[in-house]
Structure 1
Amino acid sequence: MSAFENLSIHCNDGYELSARFYPHQTTSKHALPILICPATGITKTFYNSYATWLTEQGHDVLVFDFRGIGESLHGPLKQSTASIVQWGQLDIPAAIDTLINKTQAAQVIILGHSAGGQLLGIVPNYNKVAKVVAVSGSTGHVKDLKGRTKLLAPVMFNIIFPIARYTLGYGPTNAIGMGENLPKDVAREWAQFCSKPGYVLNALGKTVQQDFHAQVNCPITAVWSTDDEIATKANVKDLLRLYPNAPTDMIELNPKATGHKAIGHMLMFKSSHKNLWSIIEKELHI
């Protein structure tokens, strides 16, 4: 049964994020807590089952909604000024500090899903992160996408988002089954970051002035599936190359080999894929 405490995370710019803290459910606990950073447009409730399971393995866990998403959206979506850069520069740093203060741990381990595992290079307090496990983490470069997503992404990025920015005032991703609708600047940056290799590096000199990729030296492990149309092998490699001084590793999952018809970009955290959970958990150690 899920047991968590609702928390508020206060960012340096005064923005307040909604979070859940899941305390360990064992007699002893692992020294470093787990910070789950969600994928683009995905709320903290999506990770409830996995976060609860992690507490049963002895982990303290914090999961939150990025600004402009879920319960961290304050006011009408079309008025939200949230951006992916703010997620990395303000939201993740505040979540790190909140979790450290809550647990009195020396550092945290980031379990990042998709975008949640792709932003450490612009996180100012990156030195408080002992390891990153990036599930379905990649740069999402459009030229290296696969399948239906390879066809859909250019339409979404180049036609739907630009038009919707001025007609709706937000990115209409819910209608195409890609999570919650997005603040307009999140949608704009997503398209910008995926247009070329390097993801957030495409914002350097624009909305990103401080680049910490070369300073990051903690281990980074990417866990990805061969049927993921976004985090393809090429795009996973493209993400890991951004951290020249970090030990990196790639763990490839094959649906058929693990007893599934599909894993894709989203299913690793689903209870239907619980046999994969220990593979991820094994990496949440130093």
Structure 2
Amino acid sequence: MPFIVCREITVHCEDKYRLSATVYLPKGTLKGAVLIGPATGIKRQFYTAFAEFLAANGYGVLTYDNRGIGQSLQGDISDHDATLQSWGQFDQQAAIAALISEFPDSNYHLIGHSAGGQLVGLASNALKLHSMFNIASSSGRLLNMKLRDQVKSHFFMNVFIPFSNLIFGHTKSQWFGMGEPLPSAVSKQWRTWCNGKGYVKTAFGKTIDKHYFSELTFPAMWVNAVDDFIANDKNVRDMMSVSPNTKAETLTLNPKEFGLKEIGHMKFFSRRSEVLWQICLDWLAKHSEQ
């Protein structure tokens, strides 16, 4: 594997909030620069192996923790005012700016995992991206799930989240194996958006006055898996409709075809799923011409 330089940086948001981030820089010619947008409540270290793989193949990479998550948590989580909206409007915008600063005069790509791809149109500088490759990114609409999946998702969203926020002041999503604890305003907005249609679209004209989803025209790949009940085909299409002007393609993966037991919502980034990573590498190579 080519030598990779890895260093920790601080990303400064427009509202003065500071995010913890990691930059991966390969030795040799830089082919392009990639921002990995994290899923809801997922720390940047989850993407380390994947980021190293991209860097080993010539791409500069930046990973980051959203505010209220991992090393970007400042103060008590029960007092934190982070929202999904702030993750897009401030955090992802600042992360894109940091990527451009770290790798000037390059081409820029977002690899969005779940929320990391859903929020892109809230960042004003998303227009500077050359492409987007989303994994398990969808509206997460409860009504588009199979009945048994609706039941458990309904319990988590509409029973557990309000209960946990009331009792603990935040959502203990880690009890359900869903990443880090969430600030209450994040999970409250998450609940509202997944009960609606078009995820973030439910907030247009309400809490969101300005967005850039309709202005996005870059190539976009939406990847899901047959064993992902959240990012099922209906929910992927629902999320795609929010960015109607991108040059969108879709790809649905079957784990059996790659010798894998599961992919689901999270396992694309597992070291055991490295066989899938070439798909992303091929996409980046195709869209890295400046």
> TM-score, structure 2 length as denominator?
0.94
Q: Which residue of 2 aligns with 1:109?
A: 109
Deviation per CA, 1:211-246: give whole Å up to 9, x if none: 221111111111111111110011111111111211
Secondary structure class of the residue paired with 1:235: helix
Q: Which residue of 2 aligns with 1:279?
A: 279
Q: Which residue of 2 aligns with 1:191?
A: 191
Q: Tell me, which stretches of 5 or more residues in structure 2 are unaligned?
A: none
How far apart, CA to CA, are the structure 2 residues paired with 1:150 and 1:262? 20
Q: Which residue of 2 aligns with 1:245?
A: 245
Opposite residue 231 of structure 1, the aligned amino acid is A
Q: Which residue of 2 aligns with 1:42?
A: 42
Change (3 A) 1:214 1:193: same
Larger displacement relative to structure 2 (148-157 or 104-113): 148-157
Contact 1:198 1:242 in 2 (8 A): yes
Secondary structure class of the residue paired with 1:224: strand
How far apart, CA to CA, are the structure 2 residues paired with 1:161 and 1:206? 22
Opposite residue 23 of structure 2, the aligned amino acid is F
Contact 1:227 1:263 in 2 (8 A): yes
Deviation per CA, 1:6-41: give whole Å up to 9, x if none: 00000000000000000024x2221x3000010001
How far apart, CA to CA, are the structure 1 residues paired with 2:242 and 2:175? 33
Secondary structure class of the residue paired with 2:284: coil
How far apart, CA to CA, are the structure 2 residues paired with 1:211 and 1:92? 13
Deviation per CA, 1:141-183: give whole Å up to 9, x if none: 1112247643221111111111222211111110011111100
Q: Tell me, which stretches of 5 or more residues in structure 1 are unaligned?
A: none
Secondary structure class of the residue paired with 2:109: strand
Q: Which residue of 1 aligns with 2:29?
A: 28
Q: Which residue of 1 aligns with 2:19?
A: 17
Contact 1:147 1:229 in 2 (8 A): no
Q: Does 1:7 align with 2:27?
A: no
Secondary structure class of the residue paired with 2:213: coil
Secondary structure class of the residue paired with 1:262: coil
Q: Which residue of 2 aligns with 1:79?
A: 79
Change (3 A) 1:149 1:237: same
Opposite residue 171 of structure 1, the aligned amino acid is T
> TM-score, structure 1 length as denominator?
0.96
> Shift in Å at residue 92 of structure 1?
0.6
> Shift in Å at residue 93 of structure 1?
0.7
Q: Which residue of 1 aligns with 2:261?
A: 261
Q: Does 1:56 align with 2:84?
A: no
How far apart, CA to CA, are the structure 2 residues paired with 1:3 and 1:79? 36
Q: Which residue of 2 aligns with 1:66?
A: 66
How far apart, CA to CA, are the structure 1 residues paired with 2:273 and 2:105? 30
Q: Which residue of 2 aligns with 1:220?
A: 220
Secondary structure class of the residue paired with 1:220: strand
How far apart, CA to CA, are the structure 1 residues paired with 2:170 and 2:149? 20
Secondary structure class of the residue paired with 1:109: strand
- Give me the identity figure in percent: 36
Opposite residue 211 of structure 2, the aligned amino acid is D
Which segments of structure 1 move beyond 2 Å, counting only runs of 4 or more?
145-151
> Shift in Å at residue 270 of structure 1?
0.5
Secondary structure class of the residue paired with 1:39: coil
How far apart, CA to CA, are the structure 1 residues paired with 2:125 and 2:219? 16
Change (3 A) 1:232 1:207: same
Q: CA RMSD in A?
A: 1.4
